Amino acid sequence: MSEEKRRFLDSSSATPTFIGVDSVFVGDIRGKGQFVVSGEVHGDGELEGALNLSASGSWHGHVRAQQAIVAGTILGGLTVRDKLEIGYTAVIRGKVSARTVAIAKGAIIDGEIEVTSDVPVKRFEEKRDAKPGD
């Protein structure tokens, strides 16, 4: 049997869409599949899949995604239909909404947190070392 991965993106086999660390994307993004953002996005996002916003990444606008791991900065808000993990390096300024939310000690959230299930917000201490690009 395969070992269960803690992060839902660890087991994804589809090729993700990347916005690299030195890239700036201006405009709204709509798409399916996994999105890995290490650079900057200025615009709203409608993602039918997962968002992985690395520690070097920033998103200026409102993002909607199926699932998300956030280690970078979001200025505008985040709506996640399923699981949201907020890393210790994350800064979110705006409303956050998700079915389940896990927040690492050290994360900064300046706005309302809405959980759309009966599961309470889980708080944890990040035990992984940050990888380059995370």
Each residue's pLDDT tens digit, 79-120: 999 999 999 999 999 999 999 999 999 999 999 999 999 999
The whole-number average pLDDT for the span 61-77 is 97
Q: What is the Cα 1 distance to its own chain's centre?
A: 28
Calculate the average pLDDT of the chain.
89
The CB-side HSE value for 7 (13 A sphere, CA atoms) comes to 16
Report the C-alpha gap between 68 and 74 in whole angstroms: 12
**Interatomic CA distance for residues 96 and 111, integer angstroms:** 7
Q: Phi, psi at residue 8, to the nearest 5°? A: -65, -25
**Amino acid 10: pLDDT:** 52
pTM for this model (two decimals): 0.85
Give the mean model confidence (pLDDT) for residues 13-32.
92
